[in-house]
Each structure stands twice: as C-alpha cells, then as structure tokens.
Structure 1
Amino acid sequence: MPMPLTIRPISTKAERKTFVDFPFRLYKDDPNWVPPLKGEALGLITPAKNGWYSHAKAQLFLAEEEGRPEGKKVVGRISAHVDTLALTMPAVQGFGPGVGQWGLMEAEREDVFAALIAAAESWLKTQGMSRALGPISQSIWEEPGLLTQGFDHPPTIMMGHARPEYQGWIERAGYAEVKQLYTYDLDITQEFPPIVKRIIRSGEANPRIRVREVDKRRFDEEAAIILGILNDAWSDNWGFVPLTPPEIKDVGVKLKPIVFNDLIRIAELDGKPVAFMITLPDLNEAIKPLNGSLLPFGWAKLLLWLRAPKVRTMRVPLMGVVKELQSSRLASQLAFMMIEYIRQASIERYAASRGEIGWILEDNQGMRSIAETIQSRVNKTYVIYGKDL
C-alpha cells in the first residue's frame, strides 16, 4: 500500500542535488540509461550556471513518501517552467502567449506522476499560463520530447531516455500528441548511393561552392557564423526559440572540448556562408562507465578520451541552410557534400562506424528526405505533448 505522498517545491542546493540523484536509483537496472555527469546536471537546474535562466524561470518539485521507518523517500520529480522568449514566438510555431512547459519528469508510479503533473500545471497557472507542453527539459535546445520508440539502445549525447510506461501515464493525464521528433541511424562505413555521389561530384566541380572545416582557434568567430545561419534557417520551424548570448556562452564552454575542426563544416556560396553541419563524437560512450562522477579517476579517463576520441557513433545535432536556398537543389547538394566529408573524417580519424542524425521534426520533409536518401532509418522517436489548462 502506498505511503502518504507529498509534492513540494524545492530551491536549495541540497534539494537540487537530491533532484539530480533520483534518476540514478530509478534507472540503476536499465542498461540503456546513460548516467549524466552530476555536475552538468546540477548546472542545468542552477540559475547562476545556466544562461537559459536569463529569459526563463522554473520551479522544481520533488515527490516524497512519508511514514517510512527510514524517513522520507523520494519517488519522483518534475520541473515546470516559463520561457519569456518562447511566449513571444508565433503561436503557429508551437509556443506563443500563455504556453508554459514542464520537463525533467521521473516517477516510480503513475499515481506519483499524476500528482507531480498536477503540481506543475498548478504552478504554470499561477504564472498566467493557459496551456502546457512537455516534456521539454528545459530549453527546446536541450532534451525535448518523450522517448516512445527506440528503448533498446542508449541515447547519444544531448538526447534523452525514458521508461516505456511514461507514454501511457502522460496520455491518461489528458495530454495529446503535438509533435514527433525523429533521430536517424546510419551505417557510415557504407558508401552513399550513386545518385548522391553524382550530386557531390557536381558540387565539387562548381567554383561557386566551397565547403570548409571550422577553425577552432577562431571559435567565437566561427560560432557567430553558425549562429547567424541557424537563426535564419530554423526561424520558421516549430518550437524555434532564438539562442541568447548567455546561452551561447554556456553552450560554447560545454561543447568546446568535443569540437573538432574536421567534424564541423561551413558551406560557402560565392564566398558567403550559407550552410553548416555540426557533428559531435558521442560523449555518452565515454561518460556512461563513470556513473555520473569524475572522481576519483573519471576526470583523467575523460581527459584522455577527449585528446583523441575513438567512438562508435557520431551525432549530427544541428544542420542548417539559409532560408533563401531552402527547397532548392543547391540546399540538398550542400548537405550531401558536408555529410560526405564528415563521414570520411569520422571513419578515418575517429574509428566511427555509425552516425545519428537529429532530432528532425516529423514535418521537416527536406531534412527527412536527405536522411532517407543516404539510406538512414528512424531509430528513435520522441513526442512532445500538449494540454490546455
């Protein structure tokens, strides 16, 4: 019989640590869960360490069972949040006025989840919200969506994992599917189909086109170029919220150690940057054995890995082509060229054999077509749900 349940808001450093620790117990027997580095997970929910909080606010909740001889036991958690930038976006793109979010949800049982989601919804109402989307943990640029397909293998860097039963719990709480997000799996040891090769050769013969590596020595300058293309290319996408300078600074600090010149490409047309592709070695392969801690020797193992990473999987989290070229033959040509050059580098220099592309919105037919043309397949599906409050 369940013990009396309490849902309480939290704010202290010790409480945030408890919030971070809970999934380690919940998923301890799940071979496909990747324990995050606890310092990184704490930084995500600490306003002073996450630039997202410069335009957003969040309330964390813990679910605790009382009445046990050993004291209170944490049995769930959730975050409710309001992003003031998301409130200014067009409603047709998913966010907009009155739309709040929840995420970072984990629970032992459905009754615990129901109590947590009710607390999150109640807090969102006090903030003037009339609709909730979730799970989004916490920014759309972090880990959006609930895993609903692909539980049989671990997620790659910056993608989430979940318990299969969560889908039913969310839907029985009155939430309906709003958007599906896909990741695509690709055997990069296989050469691309002849038609793709011909498109690449045609691009290489075009003197107007140049595809170059980034220069990590000019990190800030290169990041600004990529951000400019990103904000243009993605601005009409569902769920788009522009990255702010504090967020860009934080992302740069986190990702710079796994940025390698030959894995990030910028395509230029007549000398003007018009497209980019970011590829990251799957850091999850390195951190999974560390069980969330860099002590006592985890930091040394990770440092050695970062110096010359050898990985099975490369992940492509972001790719973009400026809007004026989208839906053109040139857009796909530039994409195929960048993919091929990074594919070759991934095999030759990092011993990779697998690629993962995404996430990709279900209605992003351009990117889905590119993924399917190079013979990749959907390996994971994530769903974002919505409910009027």
Structure 2
Amino acid sequence: MPQLRSEQIELITPDKNPFFGHAKAQLMIAWRQGKPVGRISAHIDKLALDMPKEQGFGPGTGMFGYFDAEDEAVAHVLLAEAERWLRSEEMERVLGPISMSIWEEPGLLVRGQDHSPMIMMGHHPAQYRSWIESYGFEPAKTLLTYDLDVSRDFPPLIQRIVKSGERNDRISVRQVVKKDWDAEVDIILSILNDAWSSNWGFVPFTPEEIAHAGKKLRPIIFEPLNMIAELDGEPVAFMLTFPDINQVLKKIDGKLFPFGWFHLLRWLRKPKDAGMRVPLMGVKKELHNSRVASQLAFMMISQIRKNASALYGSQRGEIGWILDDNQGMVAIADAIESKINREYIVFSKSLS
C-alpha cells in the first residue's frame, strides 16, 4: 500500500517533524551490488528516556524503526548497525520496530497480512518476525486491532446502555466543531495525555507536536465521525475516526503529481463507501474503571457507527491499536462484537 511520498519524507525530516525537537535519529540504507536492499532507523526519544521503565521505555532505551529488508542476512546487518549506533549513544536496550514516534507506527505486523492496511498503519511481510527473533529480539508488547461491521446495530445490551446515557442530564456527546479546530485539538490531546499517561509506551505530546498534529489531521476530520463527551459540562472523553485514505493512495500510487492531487481532493470532499478507523480514544484517568467511562465510550462509538453508515456508506471499521492487556478497551471491543483482525508486536533486546 503506497503511502503519500511527501508525507513520508516529512516524517523523517528534522525541520519539518517536531518529534525531532526531543529526539535524534540515524537513518541507514543497506546496499548490495549497487542496489538498495534494506533500510532502518536507529533513534532516541529524550522524552521516552524520562518515562518509568515499567511503562516500556525509561533510561537507556533506544529504538529502531522504518525496518525493511530483502532477506534475513540484510535484516541482521541492519539490526547490527542500529544496535552499534545506539550503543555509541550509551543506550542499554532497544525496542522496535517503532517508526518513528510511538504515536506513528508502532510494532511489527505478525497477523493480518491477508488484507490491506488502513490509514496510518504499518504492514510487514510475515517472515520479518523470524528474522528479528533470530537476531535475539523477544516480544515486549502486543498491540491489537479489531474489525467491526458498522452496518449492523450493536447488541441489545449496548443499545440499552447508550439510551440510559442519553437520558442522563449530566452526560452529553457532541461532534467536534471544525471551525474551532485548534481549540478542539487542545481539548482532545489534553484528555489523551491524561488518559494514556499510565499506559505502556506512553510518551506525552509536546505543544509543538499538538499544533503539528492538528494541522496535519484537519483535512481528514469529518465532524460526524469525531466526538467529544462531556460530564457536567466538562470534556472528559473523545473518539477520533478517520476515513481510510489508503483506498485513494493506492489508486494514485502515493504520488500527488501529475494528477494524484485531483483524485485526492475529490475523495476528501466526501469519502463515499470508505472504511473507517478509530486510531485514538480516551477517557480521563479519574473515570477509569467506572461505569460512566464505558457508557461514554459506547455512546461515542454508537453515534459514530450510525453516522459512518448513514452518511458515508461505510460497511466496516477498525479499532486500534489496543494494548492486549488493556482490559477496559478489550472488554468494550468484545461487547460490540468486534473481532481481532491484526496483531502487532514491539520487540525488545538488551544491548549490554
């Protein structure tokens, strides 16, 4: 699935990606007889170094990402070079693949290669897992995505929970307001930084990254697909849903010129029959493990499902990534009868 080339270049360009305001990277290409046969990044996120070690990162933890290789020999050479650079930067442990921020494309796809990736998701050949593990890496964390038939109503129990929430005067769920997008982004990402702060792999968004993310995401924000939930008038939860732009990127082969921009702009006006992906949602930590938290989640999912089906003709959606040990989110995914369709693994290795 070819990605938009200009976007990919921007991700690895330090003066265009605010991730590099707190990170450094070494990008590498493997060559064989004058032909490029693999690539890898070795990188260090200074904010990740400050996180508690039990949350995945912590002092001395570097990363590798943007991993592709023609064969196992190339894979091992690339991993060796990434490790060498990380050791030279005094790192003691490596996690990967993470390309490049934990918020971009974390993990190696190990299940689900039989269908195309959705928007902002990595995709890897099945053999990559054995190549990485044969070099001494072990699984550190599993990330899941769930497939949902959005054309079907939710089970009766979930419908009753949603209706109960709609009768509760303390609760309201509203669409994002695109004309107030900058303010909405601040609300969403402040909830995200709070809701995810104890999760494995969490690294906080900086103000610069918040502004950058808001600008980049705006073209694919459709108000009926993105919700903010309020409790007693205070925003406490959100859910973002993106139409699957990959279906048009495949048509234009990831190139805007000479005519790709036309197809992209036409699709962005109204992405008819597009699949939908929920990449991010969150409920403030103070509400975690409460009845109202799951109720807010079901209310947002229910409204987005209806809008995706009625307004955009969507048939399926995808929720994730979800940490495999995030019991609350796994329970919600099970309750709405979604099924695991992809599995990603972040691997770990000691450099000592």
**TM-score, scaled to structure 2:** 0.99
Task: Tell me if 1:375 matches 2:346.
Answer: no
CA distance in 1, matches of 2:76, 2:323: 28
Match of 2:9 in 1: 42
Measured after TM superposition, the shift of residue 303 of structure 1 is 0.4
Aligned to 1:140: 102
**Contact kept? 1:285, 1:311, Cα under 8 Å:** no
Any residues of structure 2 matched to 1:240-319 within 5 Å, and which?
240-319=202-281
What is the distance in 1 between the residues matched to 2:85 and 2:117?
A: 31
**Aligned runs of 1:1-389 on 2, under 5 Å?**
34-66=1-33, 72-389=34-351
User: Quick one: which amino acid aligns to residue 366 of structure 1?
Assistant: G
* Cα distance, 1:249 vs structure 2: 2.1
CA contact (8 A) 1:281 1:311 kept: no
SS of equivalent residue, structure 1 residue 300? helix
Letter in 1 for 2:280: L
Residues of 1 paired with 2:207 and 2:236: CA distance?
Answer: 21
For residue 250 of structure 1, report the CA deviation from its aligned partner.
2.0
Identity of aligned residues (%): 58
Q: C-alpha displacement at 1:251, in angstroms?
A: 1.5
Determine if contact 2:158/2:336 at 8 Å carries over to the other structure: yes
Distance in 2 of aligned mates of 1:246 and 1:274: 23
Separation in structure 2 between the aligned mates of residue 364 and residue 49 of structure 1, nearest angstrom: 33
Letter in 2 for 1:99: T
Distance 1:311 1:280 in 2: 13
Question: What is the Cα deviation at residue 228 of structure 1?
Answer: 1.1
Structure 1 unmatched ranges of 5 or more: 1-33, 67-71
How far residue 311 of structure 1 moved from its aligned partner, in angstroms, is 3.2
Q: Tell me the distance in 2 between the aligned counterparts of 1:245 and 1:88.
A: 17
Q: Secondary structure at the match of 2:37?
A: strand
* Residue identity matched to 2:153: E
Q: Distance in 2 between matches of 1:84 and 1:135?
A: 17
Unaligned runs of 5+ in 2: none
Matching residue of 1:11 = none
The structure, 1 or 2, with the larger RCO (C-alpha pairs under 8 Å, 6+ apart) is 2
Are 2:186 and 2:210, in contact at CA under 8 Å, matched by a contact in 1? no
Aligned equivalents of 2:116, 2:171: Cα separation in 1? 37
SS at match of 1:289: helix
For residues 250 and 220 of structure 1, the distance between their equivalents in structure 2, rounded to whole angstroms, comes to: 11
Q: Is the 8 A contact 2:47 2:203 kept in 1?
A: yes
Tell me how far apart the structure 2 counterparts of residues 120 and 249 of structure 1 sit (CA, whole Å). 31
Q: CA deviation at 1:61?
A: 0.6
Q: Which whole-Å CA distance do the structure 2 matches of 1:264 and 1:126 have between them?
A: 44
Report SS of the residue matched to 2:63: strand
Give the superposed CA RMSD. 0.7
For residues 235 and 215 of structure 2, the distance between their equivalents in structure 1, rounded to whole angstroms, comes to 24
What is the rounded CA distance, in whole Å, between the counterparts of 1:291 and 1:214 in structure 2? 31
CA displacement, residues 68-109 of structure 1 (integer Å, 9 cap, x when unaligned):
xxxx11111100000000000000000000000000010101
Residues 275 and 316, structure 2, Cα contact 8 Å, conserved in 1: yes
CA contact (8 A) 1:212 1:267 kept: yes
Deviations for 1:254-275, whole angstroms, at most 9, x for unmatched residues? Answer: 2110001111111101101111
SS state at 2:133 partner: helix
Runs of 4+ residues over 4 Å off in structure 1: none
The count of residues paired between Structure 1 and Structure 2 equals 351
1:295, CA displacement in angstroms?
1.0
In the aligned structure 1, how far is the partner of 2:13 from the partner of 2:306? Answer: 39
Contact 1:182-1:358 at 8 Å conserved across structures: yes
Q: Which of 1 and 2 has greater Rg?
A: 1
TM-aligned CA deviation for residue 244 of structure 1: 1.0
